[in-house]
Structure 1
Amino acid sequence: MSAQDEVARFAALLRELKGRTDRSYGQLARRLGMNTSTLHRYCAGDAVPVDFAPLERFAALCGATDAERLELHRLWLRAAEARRRPRGGAASETTQGPDASPETAQGDRPATPSLGEQPDSSPDLAAARDSSHAEEPGGGDTRVVSGPVGHSQGPAPQRRKRVAVAAAAMCAVLATVGSLSFLPDERKAAGSGAVGAAEGTRDSGTGGGAGPARSVAPTGSPSASRSPSPSPSPSARRGGNGTASKAPGPTGSATAPDDAPAGPPPLTWSVNDHAWSYGCGHDYVVAKPPAQVPPPPVPQDARTWAATQGAVHGGETLVELSVQGRSDTAVVLTALRVRVAGRSAPAPGNAYAMDQGCGGALTPRYFDVDLDKDRPIARAVAGNDAGTPIPAVRMPYRVSATDPEVLMVTARTEGCDCRWWLELDWSSQGRTGTVRIDDRGRPFRTSAVEGLPHYEYDTLNRSWRIRND
């Protein structure tokens, strides 16, 4: 039976075993720890493995019986033997002359290496490997056994010279590959060889930072060859490239470098500055006579109503501030502050009440702000639920994406037309910041109603009337 037939029978059994499983070549190759193309070459008869270990695991994955494993082992032996036969079909010895190439001194070897073995990259490496394993001393000549039949070589001095050249070539290749494997990734892309060996690295950072920052000189730069230990650059002294390298301060807190990007705040918020007391009571100052003012809106339409009438919050502004984190990481709200942008005389017009008197058993907790003070502050006030106290919000306060918080702020005045906004300080994972809370980019506005005509809406007559307080 020819060598091709032996290999074909071996490959046919591999394909039969593979057909019993629903796994692809890629799935089987991953389980066997080999390349998909290598396994496909075995099953196609293009290659024969040099050892039986991967075939044993292949048969186990495919559910082969003991008899089929024995048959697979027998066919593998015959296929491997057939691949080692000389191409001429007979066992013969060939005498090489002084100029013969190393390839003619070797028999046919398996086409594909076993698991973990890399194919020879040059004939010299192959000749050196086979020669190191198959030297046999002789009387006048030296014989190299490759496969079941040996081939006679030329004179011993010439063969030793070729082996020495091959070994030197192999050492040079291995040295180059080994040096490249220890280079940093950026150096592999920039260059190799002597240039890579001449370049060095340096550590930077301060104190007990998270770790040293690595700085590599550009390929071919003078500092790479002339200065083995250059002084760190200013960016390296700050932590390298302006990234998140931080040095702990005296109290253990981390401070970001000057050029570190701030990034977006870790929290989000929404504002409703047209909230009404108890959901029904509120006053607006409108510079129009009662006949030109439409009836009070429902609370959800208060913003639209006020915008169309040019209305200003009368006496107080109730701001409903919803705050939550952008992730499950906690964000600590450290302070809520008030900034007054300006004060002027109360706005002219009439005060229009949005209710006929309302109340409820629930008084939510809130922050009280007196805008008439020179330096107003947001003072936390406790709430009440049918006689049960609701504790006031105490800063610092923690929020996250799954734990939001609604903060109520009541800002009041009795003597000015005040323009103001809120500032909310936050802290999270070593970062701190302040967000401005305002009326869509403009300050909130609250005007006093003392001395102004006060109207309420008569639903029976569908008109505004003077309110008797």
Structure 2
Amino acid sequence: MATTTQSSLNAPPPVDEPPPFAVVAAVDWPWCDGAVLAAAAPARLPALPQRYTPGGWADWFTRLGGTRTGAAWVTLTMRSRSDATVTVTDIRATVARRSEPPEVSTTVGLVCGGPGDDEPVGDALRFDLDVEPARSTGGVRFPLAVTRSASALPVRAQSGQRQVLSWRLEIDWASQGRRGTLTVDELDGLPLLTGGEGRSRCFYAQTGTIIEGLSGEGCPTR
């Protein structure tokens, strides 16, 4: 969900006046080299996919219904609502809540490819969520110009903690004498979450073979 607060250099605009640009947030999470925090014991995980295909693994991770762990990739697509250019002066990440993972939980991951295989192409805005306040680690220079032509900005929010983090993005903007802050804190009606370590671990190679050195007991195998 995106909300906004705003002010004018002259008179304050109506409270319900929309921001001059639209922002759509979408998960950009690779099926390969990804991990999910599932609220289930290893023995309760769904059966492994029968085919070694990206689609099969992606569907399997979706059925876990869990929280992405470690780093979260979000793509912001921004577009001006008019011919006027909107200037984005800053984007911040803020952690709203930190909570412990469920008592019964499993970190489930797929290990494949080489270093950097899960990196998006081009520049990305990066945040370290493990410090307070969350710290930008670079990747993008401000200000950014937003026009009628849609522009996509990858955002990477990284956490190495065991806790599950609920976080949001705050986007400062200015256009035609107006300025404000637009907040993105949901994806498809669900809060932005980055998960930590589950109580158990199940990690697999791309072929579906269990990685014994990274996994505990009870993980599903073929």
Q: Work out whether the TM-score is over 0.5.
A: yes
Aligned to 2:20: 266
Aligned to 1:284: 36
**Deviation digits for residues 183-225 of structure 1 (CA, Å, limit 9, x no counterpart):** xxxxxxxxxxxxxxxxxxxxxxxxxxxxxxxxxxxxxxxxxxx
* CA positional deviation for 1:357: 3.0
Q: Of residues 409, 415, 419 in structure 1, which corresponds to 2:166? A: 419
CA spacing shift, 1:427–1:308, aligned 2, 3 Å: same
Q: Does the Cα contact within 8 Å between 1:414 and 1:450 map onto a contact in 2?
A: no
**Deviation digits for residues 439-465 of structure 1 (CA, Å, limit 9, x no counterpart):** 234431112238742411563xxx562
Q: Of residues 118, 126, 139 in structure 2, which corresponds to 1:368? A: 126
- Structure 1 segments unaligned to the other structure (5+ residues): 1-253, 382-392
Q: Hey, which of these two has a bigger chunk of helix by percent?
A: 1
Is 1:410–2:162 an aligned residue pair? no
Q: Does the Cα contact within 8 Å between 1:295 and 1:457 map onto a contact in 2?
A: no
- Structure 2 segments unaligned to the other structure (5+ residues): 1-7, 215-222
* CA positional deviation for 1:331: 0.7
Q: Secondary structure at the match of 1:375?
A: coil
**Aligned-partner Cα distance in 2 for 1:406–1:300:** 27
Aligned to 1:400: 147
Q: Of residues 337, 343, 347 in structure 1, which corresponds to 2:92? A: 337
Is 1:446–2:194 an aligned residue pair? yes
**Aligned-partner Cα distance in 1 for 2:17–2:57:** 36
Paired residue total: 198
**Aligned-partner Cα distance in 1 for 2:18–2:69:** 35
Q: Does the Cα contact within 8 Å between 2:105 and 2:199 map onto a contact in 1?
A: no
* CA positional deviation for 1:333: 0.6
**Aligned-partner Cα distance in 2 for 1:308–1:327:** 40
**Aligned-partner Cα distance in 2 for 1:259–1:405:** 27
* CA positional deviation for 1:344: 1.8
CA spacing shift, 1:346–1:424, aligned 2, 3 Å: same
**Aligned-partner Cα distance in 2 for 1:300–1:255:** 53
What is the RMSD of the two structures over their aligned residues, measured on CA atoms?
A: 3.2
Is 1:437–2:195 an aligned residue pair? no
Is 1:349–2:101 an aligned residue pair? no
* CA positional deviation for 1:353: 1.8
* CA positional deviation for 1:424: 0.9
Is 1:380–2:125 an aligned residue pair? no
CA spacing shift, 1:294–1:356, aligned 2, 3 Å: farther
CA spacing shift, 1:321–1:354, aligned 2, 3 Å: farther
Q: Secondary structure at the match of 1:337?
A: strand
**Deviation digits for residues 51-87 of structure 1 (CA, Å, limit 9, x no counterpart):** xxxxxxxxxxxxxxxxxxxxxxxxxxxxxxxxxxxxx
**Aligned-partner Cα distance in 2 for 1:427–1:309:** 41
CA spacing shift, 1:318–1:330, aligned 2, 3 Å: same
CA spacing shift, 1:468–1:281, aligned 2, 3 Å: same
**Aligned-partner Cα distance in 1 for 2:120–2:206:** 27
Q: Structure 1 vs Structure 2: percent identity of aligned residues?
A: 27
* CA positional deviation for 1:427: 0.9
CA spacing shift, 1:457–1:292, aligned 2, 3 Å: farther
**Aligned-partner Cα distance in 2 for 1:312–1:411:** 13
* CA positional deviation for 1:273: 2.3
Q: Does the Cα contact within 8 Å between 2:107 and 2:199 map onto a contact in 1?
A: no
Q: Which structure's CA Rg is the greater one? A: 1
CA spacing shift, 1:316–1:362, aligned 2, 3 Å: closer
Residue type of the partner of 1:429? Answer: Q
CA spacing shift, 1:290–1:355, aligned 2, 3 Å: farther
Q: Does the Cα contact within 8 Å between 1:339 and 1:421 map onto a contact in 2?
A: yes
Q: Does the Cα contact within 8 Å between 2:46 and 2:63 map onto a contact in 1?
A: no
Residue type of the partner of 1:351? Answer: T
Where in structure 2 are the equivalents of 1:9-24 lying within 5 Å? none
**Deviation digits for residues 8-62 of structure 1 (CA, Å, limit 9, x no counterpart):** xxxxxxxxxxxxxxxxxxxxxxxxxxxxxxxxxxxxxxxxxxxxxxxxxxxxxxx
Q: Report which structure shows greater RCO (CA 8 Å, sep ≥6).
A: 2
* CA positional deviation for 1:258: 4.0
CA spacing shift, 1:427–1:448, aligned 2, 3 Å: same
Aligned to 1:35: none
**Aligned-partner Cα distance in 2 for 1:332–1:300:** 41
* CA positional deviation for 1:419: 0.7
**Aligned-partner Cα distance in 2 for 1:321–1:300:** 27
Where in structure 2 are the equivalents of 1:123-272 lying within 5 Å? 255-258=9-12, 260=14, 263-272=17-26
CA spacing shift, 1:450–1:370, aligned 2, 3 Å: farther
**Aligned-partner Cα distance in 2 for 1:466–1:450:** 17
